[in-house]
Structure 1
């Protein structure tokens, strides 16, 4: 059976087809962990400017450095599979709780400005999506945003990646398989060069490149909060032999001191009331994840159960 990757027309949420669109989102969250949004309300012109400036920035500031790194490690000539690195050139932007945009070297003023503008739009879209998930899950409006809030609001940042042409894509992954640690991820990906794949029912399936779309995927925290109703899904990037793939992934995550645990309202609905997933402080999960990113997520959840007893649900003392 040919599986069709879920593509959702976001504009339909405002009309008589709303129920069908909500059903598609629900199905995608429960069975895919991924979906692609079209007509999401972010202007095409803004997206095109972001893409143009990102590609220019890569060519001007990063391409040469990447080539030098490849040469210094002798990567063109590798004969066996490389498991400890990724064929990607990246930098990170932090937007919330406070921006680090001004500290990133080499960013030209117009690029900084457009990335700020893009981040504002993505943040709005992320919050809209969290509310739609609440509605589908039967949680009170705003529940997910509140859980993510912690004491200083959510953490929101962007990983800007370029995947240059790779001579040995069978031996070096663009990005090794992993699940995302955080909340909800919004990806603006190249519409010409493919490479992103997700694991579904034991098969790797391509996430189709589409012009002006935003790909959404769910991170580990939403799996915990929904007590496994929604799953974070393994995904990877296959490097290509020709063409550089652009990927701009924005992560809308809980605040560092947010306490994450299965939503009581969902546990009440389950016949078996026992909580499957742990309760923990988001920052503690991130410390654990840093060393285990490219491994299965289940042992991470198990490890968090052992620290669970130390977390109480009162107000969290912030240092």
Structure 2
């Protein structure tokens, strides 16, 4: 882990660049032509990613079964879906988003007190990966470890301003964790596994890992040349995204095209991460996604990552391994897995593909 002690060069805050009034972005942020959104196939799919009403889980058997089937189909075909009637109040979602927006609007010297390092990523950051001279993304972020309690971010990593930030973040985490535990049961059932299989594989209800990345994407004068976040699949288990429904930007890869996600007011966007792809023996697929830059608006989003306990080896469920479908992945702990990400930054699906059993 020595190579992850510090950044290879001084960190520049994207927000500072955006607020400096520049009209041309620095070369460090210009993506190769093949990755520039202006030159790639994109589409506004009228259907979009599936939208699933979770209130039906409380309905009769038929309604519950239909919801489970809808989630299963979304995980197989898209790797992404939006959920409504999910149990997290809209008022809480708006409050936590605005509280974090207040943090990012503070003076730079206040935020700099929480500058992060690649050793743990906890705190205020502006890059992923430690490759010197790498092409960077047009966005800043704040990263915190929330659960289990043994790895929770230390008090020094939590912003003291605004004063309500810590309390409301914890309140939001508890509500989203309940949603994740429900979805883990739905995924287990839809794979034909015991209802608690996935949760147990992740370390049980109290053992699963939870971390939060609050993304801040400032205005960009040349959004066609860069990305707010490069294409990647999420390394963890499941991601719950609280997006800004007024300012879109998330795109999901579907075949050879990028589909723009239109977040619904009050909805949460769910996506499958690499660990569930591994555990399901590739029945469910993590999918590449990226974030566009925007010339007219800033954008904030909160991504809560629900992950396996970091020291548990995780491989395909034995019930999903057959002579016709052998085990596709070798077991690996999440600690081992994310070192790759922290060294290399977002790189499509290269990491999960490298896990495939030889």
Deviations 1:5-52 (A, max 9, x none): 201111111114222222211110000000001110111121121122
1:281 aligns with 2:330: no
Structure 2 CA distance for partners of 1:32 and 1:273, relative to 1, 3 Å: closer
Q: Higher RCO, 1 or 2 (CA under 8 Å, sep at least 6)?
A: 2
3-state DSSP of counterpart to 2:239: strand
Deviations 1:40-84 (A, max 9, x none): 011112112112212222212559979xxxxxxxxxxxxxxx962
How much does 1:301 deviate? 3.8
Structure 2 CA distance for partners of 1:216 and 1:300, relative to 1, 3 Å: closer
How much does 1:299 deviate? 5.3
3-state DSSP of counterpart to 2:143: strand
Say what the alpha-carbon RMSD is for the aligned residues.
2.4
- 1:97 corresponds in structure 2 to 148
Q: Which runs of 4+ in 1 moved over 4 A?
A: 61-66, 303-306
1:86 aligns with 2:132: no
Gaps of 5+ in 2: 1-44, 113-132
In the TM superposition, 1:247-258 aligns within 5 A as 247-258=301-312
3-state DSSP of counterpart to 2:287: coil
CA distance in 2, matches of 1:299, 1:112: 33
How many residues align structurally?
289
3-state DSSP of counterpart to 1:109: coil
Report the TM-score when normalising by structure 2: 0.75
How much does 1:298 deviate? 4.5
1:169 aligns with 2:213: no
CA distance in 1, matches of 2:222, 2:337: 34
- 2:260 corresponds in structure 1 to 206
CA distance in 2, matches of 1:41, 1:225: 26
CA distance in 2, matches of 1:20, 1:45: 29
CA distance in 2, matches of 1:213, 1:63: 34
How much does 1:300 deviate? 4.4
Q: Which one has the bigger helix percentage? A: 1
- 2:48 corresponds in structure 1 to 4
Equivalent pair of 1:289/1:300 in contact (CA under 8 Å):
no
Structure 2 CA distance for partners of 1:63 and 1:53, relative to 1, 3 Å: farther
CA distance in 1, matches of 2:109, 2:242: 20
How much does 1:172 deviate? 1.6
3-state DSSP of counterpart to 2:202: helix
3-state DSSP of counterpart to 2:57: helix
1:59 aligns with 2:83: no
Structure 2 CA distance for partners of 1:240 and 1:131, relative to 1, 3 Å: same
1:290 aligns with 2:315: no
- 1:42 corresponds in structure 2 to 88
- 1:236 corresponds in structure 2 to 290
Range moving further from structure 2, 240-249 or 94-103: 94-103
In the TM superposition, 1:75-224 aligns within 5 A as 84-98=135-149, 99-100=152-153, 102-103=155-156, 104-149=158-203, 153-224=207-278
How much does 1:108 deviate? 2.7
Report the TM-score when normalising by structure 1: 0.84
